[in-house]
């Protein structure tokens, strides 16, 4: 009998990080065939993550083009993934999150009448323009999905409120915690990351505190990023911290960061890091400022307070748990909250010891068990399944 095929489509660095443990887990399933398709929406950063996790794509569409816009990217993903579906004939397509790759791939699967599994389903901000276009993308994927792998109970409630059947939803935890724990274990066993970063960036040596920054959201371009950079310049001037900003390769982000922060002594604009290096840098940091979704989930597992450079978040669980604080891109608010964390030891201790609400590192096992039960039921044992995340 032909094995049912699970087609996993990824295109960006965040998708690759969060789907890596799912790929590894499904490739151990003897009775399911797993095919990985890379759209390469982010070419270099995707390749970097695949190398870190020792993953090779079975199909590489290589769709990244210089100065591509969302319209052309969406059309290319839709067309090329449509052809892959016709060739591979999967039983189910797995996509992740809220990228253009996920949205267009799920639409292609919907047109081909193929089941769709959405990993990290049910996240919502309630504002279609924040983040843009991600809020639209995740809603569009959920509209056509068959299986919903919700990371939290709140995400499950969002789906139920939109009329999704509870039988289609499995609360799994977030796969980024699986990826984080895999990476921490690997770096503990193999070492070398700290030495490499110390050699490349001597300012990381010693015991000076590090403020780690990531900022690249489209809705923050121009005014928002410029305001963030002005706040970082003030923080660097008024404290003894080392501000480390791995700058996204987007030319708009590069231009704004360089124009405000170049030449500031204790601000370091560096190239994006590979995932193990970035995890090490998160552990080395005292505070993280970010507009990323994944970092809101990862950093609490490392005991790091997070200032979210957005006005809304699709991760309200983090707000309720007190692991993140929304500061938007207002220069004064960023400065005030960051310096408070740096100067108020009791406040810092409170914000850095909250429980992470995003899972136990076994989300990939839950997803694999679900897919085995659905697509290879004759080989599924109930005793192998994990309960949904409580």
The catalytic site residues sit at 98, 120, 134, 216, 218, 248
Closest alpha carbon to 60 in 76, 36, 27, 88: 36
Q: Which residues of 333-368 are buried (b: 16+ CB within 10 A; e: fewer)?
A: bbbebbbebbeeeeebeebbebebbbbbbbbbbbbb
Q: Among 267, 221, 225, 272, which residue's Cα sits nearest to residue 246?
A: 272
Using DSSP's 3-state secondary structure scheme, residue 293 falls into: coil
304 and 356 Cβ atoms separated by less than 8 Å: no
Report the 10 Å Cβ neighbour count for 140: 18
Nearest residue to 246 via CA among 207, 288, 283, 206: 288
Phi and psi of 306, rounded to 5°?
Answer: -120, 130
Q: What's the token pair of residue 307?
A: 């200032």
Alpha-helical regions (H) of the chain: 13-26, 43-52, 70-88, 100-111, 134-144, 153-161, 175-190, 193-200, 223-238, 251-261, 275-284, 294-298, 316-321, 331-343, 345-351, 363-375
Determine whether 259 is exposed, middle or buried from the number of CB atoms within 10 Å of its CB (0-12, 13-18, 19+). Answer: exposed
| φ and ψ at residue 382, rounded to 5 degrees | -60, -30
Cα–Cα distance measured from residue 199 to residue 277, given in angstroms and rounded to the nearest whole number:
13
The two three-digit tokens of residue 200, written as one number: 């490349």
């Amino acid at each position: 009998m032909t094995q049912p095929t699970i087609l996993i489509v990824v295109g960006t660095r965040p998708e690759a990080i969060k789907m890596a443990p799912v790929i590894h887990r499904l490739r151990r399933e003897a009775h399911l065939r797993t095919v990985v398709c890379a759209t390469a929406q982010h070419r270099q950063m995707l390749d970097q993550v695949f190398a870190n996790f020792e993953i090779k794509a079975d199909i590489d569409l290589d769709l990244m083009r210089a100065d591509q816009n969302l319209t052309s990217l969406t059309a290319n993903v839709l067309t090329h993934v449509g052809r892959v579906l016709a060739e591979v004939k999967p039983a189910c397509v797995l996509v992740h999150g809220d990228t253009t790759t996920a949205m267009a791939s799920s639409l292609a699967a919907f047109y081909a009448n193929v089941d769709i599994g959405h990993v990290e389903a049910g996240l919502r901000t309630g504002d279609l323009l924040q983040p843009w276009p991600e809020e639209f993308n995740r809603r569009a994927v959920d509209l056509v999905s068959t299986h919903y792998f919700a990371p939290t109970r709140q995400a499950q409630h969002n789906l139920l409120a939109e009329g999704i059947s509870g039988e289609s939803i499995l609360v799994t935890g977030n796969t980024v915690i699986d990826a984080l724990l895999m990476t921490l274990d690997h770096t503990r066993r193999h070492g070398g990351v700290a030495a490499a970063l110390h050699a490349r960036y001597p300012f990381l040596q010693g015991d000076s505190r590090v403020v780690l920054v990531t900022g690249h959201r489209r809705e923050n371009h121009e005014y928002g990023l410029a305001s963030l950079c002005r706040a970082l310049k003030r923080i660097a001037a008024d404290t003894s911290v080392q501000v480390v900003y791995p700058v996204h390769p987007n030319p708009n982000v590069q231009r704004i960061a360089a124009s405000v922060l170049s030449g500031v002594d204790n601000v370091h604009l560096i190239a994006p890091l590979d995932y193990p290096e970035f995890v090490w840098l998160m552990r080395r940091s005292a505070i993280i400022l970010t507009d990323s979704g994944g970092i809101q989930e990862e950093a609490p597992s490392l005991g790091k307070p997070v200032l979210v450079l957005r006005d809304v978040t699709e991760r309200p669980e983090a707000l309720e748990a007190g692991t993140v604080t929304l500061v938007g891109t207002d220069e004064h608010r960023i400065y005030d909250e960051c310096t408070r964390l740096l100067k108020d030891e009791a406040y810092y201790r409170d914000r850095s010891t909250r429980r992470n609400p995003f899972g136990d590192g076994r989300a990939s096992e839950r997803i694999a068990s679900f897919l085995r039960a659905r697509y290879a039921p004759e080989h599924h044992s109930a005793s192998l399944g994990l309960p949904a995340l409580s």
